[in-house]
Structure 1
Amino acid sequence: MKHIGIVCEGPTDYIILKGVIDQITSEKNTYVMLQPENDLTGKYGNGWKGVWKWCYDNASIRNELMKSIQPALDFLVIQMDGDVSRKEKSSHCWCEATQCAHKGKWNPLECDTTSAGRAACPIVLPCPGHDASVTGYMSHLKALLTTWLKETDDTCIVIPCDSTEAWIVAAYDQTDGIETVEAPWEHIIARGKYYHNIRISGQKKRIRIFEQFVPTVCENWSKVTELCQSAYDFEESLLALV
């Protein structure tokens, strides 16, 4: 049994990751959700920018942080959805292909929050520095997170494509090419009032709904890894740590 710290975009990602990690390791592990904080109103907020901020701010004290939690954390799992690479211009600010007069001067986390910043952004997607594919998105974001973290010892980076919800659809529907479907939550799971007899209350992602998804995702995990390159990559990376 391991004690694992998870840094992720949101609490529903945390729910799925916990179940999947237990499935992969065949153990009942214990977990700490480092990011986002439980009430989502903490220092970093939620979403991919929250993950970015957490990694950037805690890189230099990562080892001390892991030891300060009792029991000490055995390793970290850091999640960011592949759709960040697909649709978020500011995730490409450091790409070699990006030519920007403000590069290194403006904070990419803030430059897209104002109309002036958005107007000044020269980035065109898809970024020519990366393939617009599952492999390209994973490679881009893994490299980006590694840069922010500085060290990745005892760290497993996972990039679900297009998002964690793709793994859910793969488990339930066994859909080929599901990782290339944009926004599977909106376009598949939450299209109707029910998804495989699970009541879906609008577009908002709710923890109680995702808790109902976990058993099927875990039961069909081997099929998920067949259909989703990002799931297979996560399993291989995780097993290399444990």
Structure 2
Amino acid sequence: MSKVIGIVSEGPTDYLVLKAVIDKITGESNRYLSLQPERDMLGRFGNGWKGVWRWCKETESVNTLMKEIQPQIDAIVIQMDGDVIRKEKEAHCLCDSTSCEQKGKVFPLYCDKHGDDCPVIIPCVSHKDGIEGTMMHGEKLISSVLDAEDMSNIAITIPCDSTDAWVVAAYDGFDDIETHEDPWKTIIAKKKEYHGIRVRGDKKNVHTYAIFSDKVAESWGEVTQRCRSAKKLEREVKRVFEI
């Protein structure tokens, strides 16, 4: 039986990938609502990973929200790319190893001291290295600020290094693609075409990504074999929907 699923994602291309693979995992054509970012991309929280984290921080009672929105939401999937952990200082402000006079006083996204004088050190020694450490840290970032009494119908996914890695896994079959930094720039958009599909430089196009998303869903079995973050999403979706 199909469900109504709310998605909180970094952007419209991630939204397309998530819709395609969730339908593949559940075997249903579900109905989706983009909770974040808002469709005009100029909403209250903004877009990108900061918009996701801000939505999680500032949305009061996610469980109540799910009931109040019509149609009522059965589940929420929250996505933040793993590259955030690799390169963004704000993501490490609250880590045990970080010593800062602002720590605990100002939420990282509201702090204006992330310049050269910021004490955050990357890579951070407060969490495990590798894909598992990245996913764990990303999940903690989201869950620690999420106002949700019940997490049974909420799934968190941290694609590594990004959902672009899942695209490369689907098309090229790279076993170590999750350790590859910025696969969009270095692989997909490196040339004018990617597997015969026109790519417009550094800018991601939703029409192009609709094709990519279908390929990821079609090759989902291979993607989950090559990407631990994809396999983790599959487990989370099955947990939420009790599959």
The TM tier, using the shorter chain, reads over 0.9
Letter in 2 for 1:171: A
Matched-pair contact (CA < 8 Å) for 1:10–1:36: yes
Partner of 1:44: 45
Q: Report the more deviating stretch, 189-198 or 64-73.
A: 64-73
Letter in 2 for 1:14: Y
- 1:158 matched to 2:185? The reply is no
Partner of 2:97: 97
TM-score (norm 1): 0.95
Partner of 2:143: 146
- 1:127 matched to 2:128? The reply is no
- CA distance in structure 2 between the aligned counterparts of 1:189 and 1:161, rounded to whole angstroms: 15
Partner of 2:220: 221
Superposition deviation, residue 109 in structure 1: 1.0
- 1:8 matched to 2:5? The reply is no
- 1:118 matched to 2:115? The reply is yes
- CA distance in structure 1 between the aligned counterparts of 2:63 and 2:231, rounded to whole angstroms: 27
Superposition deviation, residue 182 in structure 1: 0.4
Runs of 5+ unmatched residues, structure 2: none
Q: 1:57 to 1:110 in 2, by over 3 A?
A: closer
Residues 183-202 of structure 1 mapped to structure 2, 5 A cutoff: 183-202=182-201
Count of matched residue pairs: 238
- 1:137 matched to 2:134? The reply is yes
Greater helix proportion = 1
Q: Report the more deviating stretch, 116-125 or 182-191.
A: 116-125
- 1:72 matched to 2:81? The reply is no
Partner of 1:24: 25
Q: 1:85 to 1:117 in 2, by over 3 A?
A: closer
- CA distance in structure 1 between the aligned counterparts of 2:94 and 2:52, rounded to whole angstroms: 17
Matched-pair contact (CA < 8 Å) for 1:20–1:217: yes
Q: Let me know the Cα RMSD of the aligned residues.
A: 1.1
Q: Report the more deviating stretch, 210-219 or 45-54.
A: 210-219
Superposition deviation, residue 153 in structure 1: 3.1
Question: Deviations for 1:104-163, whole angstroms, at most 9, x for unmatched residues?
Answer: 22331143xx5x541331111110011231111100011111111143231000000000
- CA distance in structure 1 between the aligned counterparts of 2:238 and 2:178, rounded to whole angstroms: 22
Matched-pair contact (CA < 8 Å) for 1:86–1:132: no
Partner of 1:180: 179
- 1:108 matched to 2:114? The reply is no
TM-score (norm 2): 0.95
- CA distance in structure 1 between the aligned counterparts of 2:105 and 2:144, rounded to whole angstroms: 18
Give the share of equivalent positions with the same residue, in percent.
50
Question: Deviations for 1:12-48, whole angstroms, at most 9, x for unmatched residues?
Answer: 0000100000000000000000000111111111000
Runs of 5+ unmatched residues, structure 1: none
Partner of 2:56: 55
- CA distance in structure 1 between the aligned counterparts of 2:27 and 2:114, rounded to whole angstroms: 48
